Structure 1
Amino acid sequence: MGYDARIDSLTTKHQTLEHQLEQESRRPIPDAAMVATLKRQKLKIKDELARMSRH
């Protein structure tokens, strides 16, 4: 996978996780464990994107 394709893939995954997080947060009783997991995954992707942009 090329550099640009990897960035596009990570960006898409980040947006998908954001959407899932929004959906979960809108529920009457959000699943706290799911919210935490989604946030952790988003942060991992954000960190990887930041590392890639420094190179």
Structure 2
Amino acid sequence: MTTVTQMKCACESCLCIVSLTDAVIKDGKPYCGESCANGHPNGEGCGHQGCGCHA
């Protein structure tokens, strides 16, 4: 059996891969940070290098 330790951020437009131990979990889905987890309320991206996600 393989244990999954990393997953793509659950935000549709986000490219980040998050460690499940460090992820922000919301509604059972892993996000790379608060901005993704909260649906980008101010239109800001996650701020991670190379990722242009936003609302």
Same fold (TM over 0.5): no
Structure 1 length-normalised TM: 0.24
| Higher RCO, Cα 8 Å, sep 6+ | 1
More helix by share: 1
TM-score, normalised relative to structure 2: 0.24
Which structure shows the higher strand fraction?
Answer: 2
Q: Which structure has the bigger radius of gyration?
A: 1
